[in-house]
């Protein structure tokens, strides 16, 4: 109690933080945890969906087939997988697309290797008779969605100072650990037959991460908080892509094809002197 008095920390704050860490640290493995969910929640099977985010845009009928293709050589993808240690964004976008019923998803990513492997096994004669892996059964992708991410991970220094001034040592620890994780995402929709970009939409999200706050009770019941708060990076990315996808679908509802006099790709109206 002497230490608490010296730091001018309200007893109720310490008790509340202790209760929080005790709760987080002592709960065992739990399936379907609400705290672990992202904005891309639930499931989809054909047109059937369950537990879909009510804020996700949807369509009465699909607009066509689509694939999701990431540029794995882009700087954002390197940052995603090395600095934030997250996997590809394609599973999230495929889930959102199928749940929305706006597109039928076809595989053109890493799963395509398995699709083609079955055809190689067919060609080698190893598949059973009647396996029905004949040519001409694959469905074409009408459109491709390309994702990209802009990252931001800013510490709330001003907030930290204010908290420290109010609650002494504990407040300083809380403030220095507080991070606002932000991300802005972009989705572009390309028509595969013409290569024309049909639509593009930006989305964004912010999440609060308490970072090293678990160190307040070092070696005690607060040890489990670090892994728990590490999900902030993934959650903010999913939320930003959900926002992007909603914006994309909203714009497609009022889609009208761009028209150029004389037809697309025939020279355009911006002429160059001396050009043919």
pLDDT one-digit tens code per residue, 108-135: 888 888 889 989 999 999 999 888 888 8
pLDDT at residue 99, as a whole number: 92
Average pLDDT over the chain, rounded to an integer: 76
Structure-token pair, residue 231? 């999900």
Residue 108 lies in a domain: yes
Backbone phi, psi, residue 270, to 5°: -90, 90
Q: What domain range includes position 186?
A: 2-18+56-112+138-252
Q: What angle do CA 31, 33, 36 make, to 5 degrees?
A: 120
> In the chain, which ranges are E strands?
43-45, 48-50, 65-68, 104-105, 143-155, 179-191, 197-209
How many structural domains compose the chain?
1
pLDDT at residue 52, as a whole number: 77
3-state secondary structure of 62: coil
Backbone phi, psi, residue 205, to 5°: -160, 160
Q: Over range 49-66, report the average pLDDT.
A: 88
Query: Treating both helix axes as pointing N-terminal to C-terminal, what angle do 232-252 and 90-100 enclose, rounded to 10 degrees?
Result: 40
d(CA 80, CA 270) in angstroms, rounded, equals: 39
d(CA 188, CA 244) in angstroms, rounded, equals: 10
Residue 161 lies in a domain: yes
Lowest-confidence pick of 87-101, 217-231, 253-267: 217-231
More confident residue, 62 or 181: 62
Q: What is the CATH number of the domain that holds 75?
A: 3.40.50
d(CA 14, CA 153) in angstroms, rounded, equals: 28
Residue 166 lies in a domain: yes
147 has a pLDDT exceeding 50: yes
Q: Over range 228-241, report the average pLDDT.
A: 72
Residue 122 lies in a domain: no
Backbone phi, psi, residue 208, to 5°: -105, 130
170 has a pLDDT exceeding 60: no
Residue 84 lies in a domain: yes
Residue 276 lies in a domain: no
3-state secondary structure of 37: coil
Residue 177 lies in a domain: yes
Residue where the block lists tokens 């989809």:
44
Residue 187 lies in a domain: yes
Residue whose C-alpha is closest to residue 96's, from 34, 38, 181: 38
pLDDT at residue 209, as a whole number: 58
């Amino acid at each position: 109690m002497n230490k608490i008095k010296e730091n001018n920390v309200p007893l109720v704050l310490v008790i509340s933080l202790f209760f929080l860490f005790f709760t987080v640290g002592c709960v065992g493995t739990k399936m379907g945890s609400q705290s672990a969910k992202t904005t891309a929640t639930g499931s989809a099977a054909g047109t059937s969906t369950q537990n879909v985010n009510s804020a996700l845009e949807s369509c009465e009928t699909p607009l066509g087939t689509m694939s999701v293709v990431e540029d794995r050589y882009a700087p954002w993808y390197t940052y995603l997988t090395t600095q934030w240690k997250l996997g590809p964004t394609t599973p999230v976008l495929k889930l959102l697309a199928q749940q929305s019923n706006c597109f039928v998803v076809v595989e053109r990513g890493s799963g395509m290797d398995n699709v083609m492997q079955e055809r190689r096994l067919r060609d080698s004669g190893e598949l059973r008779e009647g396996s029905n892996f004949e040519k001409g059964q694959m469905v074409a992708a009408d459109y491709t969605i390309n994702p990209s991410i802009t990252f931001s991970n800013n510490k709330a220094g001003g907030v930290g100072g204010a908290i420290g001034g109010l609650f002494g040592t504990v407040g300083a620890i809380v403030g220095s650990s507080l991070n606002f994780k932000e991300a802005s995402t972009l989705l572009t929709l390309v028509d595969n037959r013409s290569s024309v970009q049909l639509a593009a939409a930006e989305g964004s999200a912010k999440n609060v991460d308490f970072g090293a706050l678990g160190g307040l009770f070092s070696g005690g019941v607060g040890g489990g908080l670090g892994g728990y708060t590490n999900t902030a990076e993934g959650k903010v990315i999913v939320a930003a892509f959900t926002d992007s996808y909603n914006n994309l679908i909203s714009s497609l509802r009022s889609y009208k094809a761009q028209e150029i006099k004389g037809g697309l790709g025939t020279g355009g109206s911006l002429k160059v002197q001396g050009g043919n």
